[in-house]
Amino acid sequence: MTLSKVLFAGTAALAVCATAAAAQTEISWWHAMGGTNGERVNKIAADFNASQDEYVVVPTYKGNYTETMTAAVAAFRANEQPHLVQVFEVGTATMMAAKGAIYPIEQMMADAGEPFDGSAYLPAVVSYYQTPDGQLLSMPFNSSTPVLWYNADALKAAGASVPETWDEVKTTAQALVDNGMECGFSFGWQSWVMIENFSAWHDLALGTQENGFTGFDTEFTFNNEKVAARLQEIADMQEDKLFVYGGRRGDSLPMFTNGECGMWMNSSAYYGSMVAQAEFEFGQAMLPLDTSVASAPQNSIIGGATLWALQGHESDEYKGLAKFMTYLSSADVQAWWHQETGYVPITTAAAELSAQQGFYETNPGTDTAIKQLSLNTPTANSRGLRFGNFVQIRDVINEEMEALWAGNITAAEALDNAAERGNALLRKFERTAK
């Protein structure tokens, strides 16, 4: 880096930057936020830099979540790692198992002498990223949870109400289709919404060992009758167009915003896109309850990404990083981030501040995610999941679920296949994580 700098810092502008930065300690932050959220990331860093003159946080966009994580891994292997890297929630087990590579946030803050109060954080948000004994490993940054988005105009026109249970989802979908809509409902991020969150919402275990929290020798149990029955019913609903599959991730968003589907289950963080694109009244409601599985919902789990500190830097730099973490989780910053992006706030103070500022009154429904996450105290089944190789396992689940939607196999077969292939990947991971 220094060699290349010397060779290529040809322009005067670069030279000026280099000398200005030399006086301060630089902290590198690799992130995966493209688009407008990327601008917000830059603003956070810029505001922090302006708030003090000892440290400079330098955010760098490194591609999507997988590209950012791989870039950090490659950099670590070459001893060029950043101080801070944004990793999506499914990478948690991989990061956590790499004990020599990561610097647990809570420990880093303690070592740097920076005060840290674990109780200030929303339990449902941080529980995903804690050790079983409650140590915070990484700092939640952009967290969301799946909610039920609905087209209020379409529901009104069809004379249907917002569903609270899966039976009602079916009747509402039927009413929408009868009223001329092309599809009743759809969803995205299917493993996250329909397997991981469905299980947590109904207090079902995804795998043994408390969803992997207490040991690497975990095995999947999501291939149970309850999940299978639910998925099978959804697959059967395709016949009357009550359900239409629209792709992985957020690929099905246009189906909802263009008025093809009246309901859509996906991340609460699509709020910004909805405001920009939907030309109808829309709302968000809690996920539907499957009354044949549970009598009341537990709580949903989060998705999104957290910030991991990496080992191998000077202690002075970690001091700066700790200060930045404090700044990042301050109520002002969190409330702003929450209101701008639709991600949930990570501290109770930020949620309260948002309420005080009247955000939820002027934007009805935006507190659905927080309500859903903090509905109950998380149980072993609903605080999150910690499976290794989960990036690949999600792909496996995607593949099997797609085979189900295409009518090639039954729901029970799809789940059994997914669990079997997933378990093989878990065993592979177990061997590398010691």
Partner 1 sequence: MLKRVHFPTSLLPYLLVAPQVIITLVFFVWPASQAVYQSFLIEDAFGISTEFVWFENFAYLASDEQYLGSFGRTIFFSVCVAVLSMSAALVLAGFADRIVRGATTYRTLLIWPYAVAPVLAGALWVFMFNPTLGIFPYILEFVGIDWNHYLNGSHAMMLVIFAAAWKQIAYNFLFYLAAMQSIPRSLIEAAAIDGAGPVRRFWDHIFPLVSPTTFFLLVINAVYAFFDTFGIIHAVTQGGPANATTILVYKVYNDGFVGLDLGGSAAQSVILMILVIAMTVVQFRYVERKVEY
Partner 2 sequence: MIENRPILNMISHAVLILGVVIVALPIWITFVAATHDPVRMTQAPIPMLPGGYFWENFTQTLFGGGLSGTESAPVWRMLLNSMMMALMISFGKIAISLLSAFAIVYFKFPFRMGFFWLIFITLMLPVEVRILPTFQVIADLGMLNSYWGLSIPLIASATATFMFRQVFLTIPDEMLESARIDGAGPLRFFWDILIPLSRTNIAALFVILFIYGWNQYLWPLLITTETDMTTIVMSIKQMLEAAEQSPQWNIIMMTALLAMIPPVFVVVAMQRLFVQGLTETDK
From its phi and psi, is residue 302 left (phi > 0), alpha (psi between -120 and 50) or beta? beta
Residue 294 binds which entry of partner 1, partner 2, none, CB below 5-8 Å type-dependent: none
**The CA-based dihedral angle spanning residues 328, 332, 337, 342, taken in that order and rounded to the nearest 10 degrees:** 130
Q: Binding partner 2 by CB under 8 A: which of 8, 119, 358, 362?
A: 8
332 binds partner 2 (CB under 8 A): no
**The CA-based dihedral angle spanning residues 171, 177, 182, 183, taken in that order and rounded to the nearest 10 degrees:** 10
Which residues, 278 to 297, sit near partner 2 by CB under 8 A?
Answer: 279
Tell me, residue by residue from 223 to 262, as one string, x for binding to partner 2 by CB under 8 A and - for no binding: ---------------------------x--xx--xx----
Which lies closer to partner 1 via its Cβ, residue 18 or residue 99? Answer: 99
Size of the residue set binding partner 1 (CB under 8 A): 40
Q: Binding partner 2 by CB under 8 A: which of 51, 52, 60, 357?
A: 60
Q: Binding partner 1 by CB under 8 A: which of 7, 117, 133, 431?
A: 431
CB atoms within 10 A of CB 293: 19
70 binds partner 1 (CB under 8 A): yes
Contacts of 270 (CB under 8 A, 6+ apart): 149, 250, 253, 342
Distance (Å, whole) CA 272 – CA 257: 12
Tell me, residue by residue from 198 to 237, as one string, x for binding to partner 1 by CB under 8 A and - for no binding: ----------------------------------------
**In DSSP terms, which residues pair with 267 in a beta bridge?**
146
Q: Binding partner 2 by CB under 8 A: which of 94, 144, 190, 191?
A: 144
Ranges of beta strands (E only) in 219-268 are 261-267
Spatial contact of 309 and 320, defined as CB atoms under 8 Å apart: no
Spatial contact of 397 and 422, defined as CB atoms under 8 Å apart: yes
Spatial contact of 350 and 334, defined as CB atoms under 8 Å apart: yes
Spatial contact of 336 and 98, defined as CB atoms under 8 Å apart: no
Residue 180 binds which entry of partner 1, partner 2, none, CB below 5-8 Å type-dependent: none
277 binds partner 2 (CB under 8 A): yes
Distance (Å, whole) CA 135 – CA 102: 14
Which pair of tokens denotes residue 222? 């999501």
Residues that bind partner 1 (CB under 8 A): 66-67, 69-70, 73, 76-77, 94, 97-101, 245-248, 251-252, 254-255, 258, 260, 389, 391-392, 395, 398-400, 402-403, 405-406, 408, 428, 431-434
Residues that bind partner 2 (CB under 8 A): 1-5, 7-8, 14, 28, 30, 32-39, 41-42, 58-65, 67, 70-71, 74-75, 77-80, 82, 142, 144, 250, 253-254, 257-258, 267, 269-270, 272-273, 276-277, 279, 305, 342
